[in-house]
Amino acid sequence: MQILSEIDKIKKVEDGNILTPLGFKTAAVAAGIRYTKLDLGVIYSEKMASCAAVYTTNQFQAAPIKVTQESIASEGILQAVVVNSGCANACTGKQGYADAIKMRALAAEKLGVKEQHVAVASTGVIGEYLDMEKVAKGMALVTPGKTIQDAEAFQTAILTTDLVMKTCGYAAVIDGKTVHVGGTAKGSGMIHPNMATMLAFVTTDAAISSEYLSLALKSVTDQTFNQITVDGDTSTNDTVLVMANGMAENYPLTPEHPEWGTFVQLLAMGCESLAKQIAKDGEGATKLVEVVVNGAISNDEARWVAKQIIGSNLVKTAIFGADANWGRIICAIGQTHASLNPDTVDIALGSIKMLENSEPCKFSEAEAQEYLSGDFIQIFVDLHYGDGNGKAWGCDLSYDYVKINASYRS
């Protein structure tokens, strides 16, 4: 009898999205916050949902984060989320907080739910006030639905400088019931989680309490969203929010549940997919870069090293220029406080060995340049110091990144 691993039990849902799980609806309208683009959206659950969230570590947390924290703290459950793009409502003082409260109230009234059961999120320019008249008029037009068009409208409305929607959908059988995870995210610049100008919304029809959903999300976030970087800047509005409405009708999940590991892996695969899509769509990016570190003293240290490499502007620019300058990688490793032996490090670009036991390897510059000219680059590092493993994702740093951010408000 074949014993399946947790990852083998999970199937990707083709065209998966925020509405893949049972019992969720979305909608979006063009309220005029971003000229004529879709810029105001809602997620609605037909049943009350357990919830969990993680937020930016930036000390200037935006008003919507404070309001969402209050909503979740009240009862630990949500039924809706309201999001706008074009204005971050960050560093806006008492008025900004009042506007976030009003935005929550408008959504609650429109959707027929209690105010404390609504989360709020915003993304866009920092230091500008929301036009609440436009928000109110837009909210009056919101009509949540279940179609692919409804999903795509919401997934588009949350974008700012992003070039593409970011979505995912996965499923696994738990307690004989098919449990789904779906999600969407935005994020392109100011990305260096814990976390960055990144909003991620994940839905699941799993039955699980808010307490254990928070436990699962925290462990998953450390391995996914907190392992991506575009430019090293952490924003004021980052939020990852998960809602679980229980409509799959599995037995409630706890760490003692025999299929707890399956659910955590299900959630992890959804979050990793969204995280990688954010990294790939970094402002001005031409390549997705994955760093894989093995042989660290712990998984945590492996993740530190991986993120240090992917966060190095010198590494990122070398990759943009298709320059196999592995010296930049070894310098990035050396800047960490990870435990290592400077004489036992291996580095490879894809299958091309650059360094073995900290000594240079002969390689074809032409072959390396050809590899680095692709749109997906893998950097492999082995510290040969322990059993810890970790990954991080990012992108190259191009001329267009400067162009985009030099005129972000215009």
Could you say which DSSP state residue 231 is in?
S
pLDDT digits (tens, 9 = 90+) for 122-156: 998 889 999 999 999 999 999 999 999 999 999 99
pLDDT digits (tens, 9 = 90+) for 211-236: 999 999 999 998 898 888 754 456 68
Which CATH number belongs to the domain containing residue 144 in this structure? 3.60.70.12
Whether residue 234 is found in the same domain as residue 316: no
Per-residue pLDDT of the chain (410 residues; tens, 9 = 90+): 344 566 789 999 999 999 999 999 999 999 999 888 999 999 999 999 999 999 887 788 899 999 999 999 999 999 999 999 999 999 999 999 999 999 999 999 999 999 999 999 999 888 999 999 999 999 999 999 999 999 999 999 999 877 788 999 999 999 999 999 999 999 754 444 443 458 999 999 999 999 999 999 999 998 898 888 754 456 688 889 999 999 999 999 999 999 999 999 999 999 999 998 988 776 667 889 999 999 999 999 999 999 999 989 899 999 999 999 999 999 999 999 999 999 999 999 999 999 999 999 999 999 999 999 999 999 999 999 999 999 999 888 877 766 766 655 54
Whether residue 350 is found in the same domain as residue 244: no
**Separation of CA 221 from chain center:** 8
Whether residue 138 is found in the same domain as residue 239: yes
Whether residue 267 is found in the same domain as residue 292: no
The pLDDT assigned to 407 comes to 59
- Among 228, 259, 279, give the residue marking a domain's end: 279
What is the distance between the alpha carbons of residues 202 and 40, in angstroms, rounded to a whole number?
18
Whether residue 238 is found in the same domain as residue 297: no
DSSP 92-157: -HHHHHHHHHHHHHHHHHHHT--GGGEEEEEEEETT----HHHHHHHHHT---B-SHHHHHHHHHH
Residue in 139, 132, 117 with CA at minimum distance from that of residue 70: 117
> CB of 388 within 8 A of CB of 298?
yes
Whether residue 382 is found in the same domain as residue 252: no
Whether residue 313 is found in the same domain as residue 208: no
Range of the domain at 377: 288-406
Whether residue 164 is found in the same domain as residue 243: yes
Which CATH number belongs to the domain containing residue 377 in this structure? 3.10.20.340
- Among 226, 258, 279, give the residue marking a domain's end: 279
- Among 221, 251, 279, give the residue marking a domain's end: 279
Whether residue 152 is found in the same domain as residue 242: yes
Please compute, for residue 41, the number of CA atoms within 13 A of its CA located in the half-sphere on the CB side: 31
For residue 26, being part of any structural domain is answered with yes
pTM of the predicted structure, to 2 decimals: 0.83
- φ and ψ at 125, to 5 degrees? -75, 135
For residue 308, being part of any structural domain is answered with yes
For residue 295, being part of any structural domain is answered with yes
Whether residue 25 is found in the same domain as residue 125: yes
For residue 4, being part of any structural domain is answered with no
Q: What's the chain's Rg over C-alpha atoms?
A: 22
Q: How many CB atoms lie within 10 A of CB 298?
A: 16
- CA angle, corner 308, sides to 341 and 58, nearest 5? 140
- Residue 282, SS3 per DSSP: coil
The pLDDT assigned to 188 comes to 59
> CB of 166 within 8 A of CB of 274?
yes
For residue 3, being part of any structural domain is answered with no
For residue 2, being part of any structural domain is answered with no
Active-site pick, 197, 224, 229, 234: 197
Residue in 155, 140, 158, 126 with CA at minimum distance from that of residue 61: 126
Whether residue 28 is found in the same domain as residue 163: yes
For residue 158, being part of any structural domain is answered with yes
The pLDDT assigned to 254 comes to 98
What are the residues whose beta carbons fall under 8 Å from the beta carbon of 114, sequence distance 6 or more? Answer: 79, 108
What are the residues whose beta carbons fall under 8 Å from the beta carbon of 406, sequence distance 6 or more? Answer: none
Whether residue 244 is found in the same domain as residue 293: no
The pLDDT assigned to 27 comes to 98
What is the distance between the alpha carbons of residues 249 and 232, in angstroms, rounded to a whole number?
42
Residue in 274, 276, 341 with CA at minimum distance from that of residue 310: 276
178 annotated active-site:
no
The pLDDT assigned to 385 comes to 97
Domain count, the chain: 2
For residue 68, being part of any structural domain is answered with yes
- Residue 257, SS3 per DSSP: coil
DSSP 191-220: --SSS-S-EEEEEE---B-HHHHHHHHHHH
Q: Which two tokens stand for residue 23?
A: 């019992």
